Amino acid sequence: MNITTSEFFRTRRLVLKGAGVAALIGLGVVPFDVPQALAAANDKYPEEAFKQKTEADAIKALYGKTAEPSDKVKMDAPEIAENGAVVPISATTTLADVTSISFLVSENPISLIASYKIPAGTLPSVANRIKMAKTSNVTVIVEAGGKLYSARKEIKVTVGGCGG
Partner 1 sequence: MASSIRVRATSNGDTTEVQALIQHPMDSGFVKDAKGEIIPPHFIQQLTFEYDGKPVFVADWGGGVSKDPYVKFAFKGGKKGGDLKVSWVDNKGATDTTTAKIQ
| 71 lies in the binding site for partner 1 (CB under 8 A) | no
From the list 12-20, 22-30, 119-127, 143-151, the region that binds partner 1 by CB under 8 A is 119-127
| 164 lies in the binding site for partner 1 (CB under 8 A) | yes
Q: Considering the complex, what minimum distance in angstroms separates the CB of residue 10 from partner 1?
A: 32
Rounded to 5 degrees, what are φ and ψ at 160?
-70, 155
User: Checking phi first, is residue 146 left (phi over 0); if not, alpha (psi -120 to 50) or beta?
Assistant: left
Q: Considering the complex, what minimum distance in angstroms separates the CB of residue 21 from partner 1?
A: 23
- Element (DSSP H or E) covering residue 104: strand 98-105
From the list 2-10, 15-23, 63-71, 130-138, the region that binds partner 1 by CB under 8 A is 130-138
Q: How far apart are CA 60 and CA 55, in angstroms?
A: 9
Chain residues 28-67 in contact with partner 1, contact rule CB under 8 A:
39, 42-43, 45-46, 50
Looking at residue 51, the DSSP 8-state letter turns out to be: G
Q: How far apart are CA 34 and CA 117, in angstroms?
A: 18
From the list 19-27, 65-73, 81-89, 147-155, the region that binds partner 1 by CB under 8 A is 81-89
CA dist 45 to 50, 53, 123, Å? Answer: 9, 17, 21
Return the closest-CA partner of residue 96 out of 114, 115, 123, 69: 123
Q: Considering the complex, what minimum distance in angstroms separates the CB of residue 103 from partner 1?
A: 8
| 129 lies in the binding site for partner 1 (CB under 8 A) | yes
Residues of this chain that interact with partner 1 (CB under 8 A) are: 39, 42-43, 45-46, 50, 85-87, 90, 105, 108-110, 112-119, 121-123, 125-131, 133, 161-164
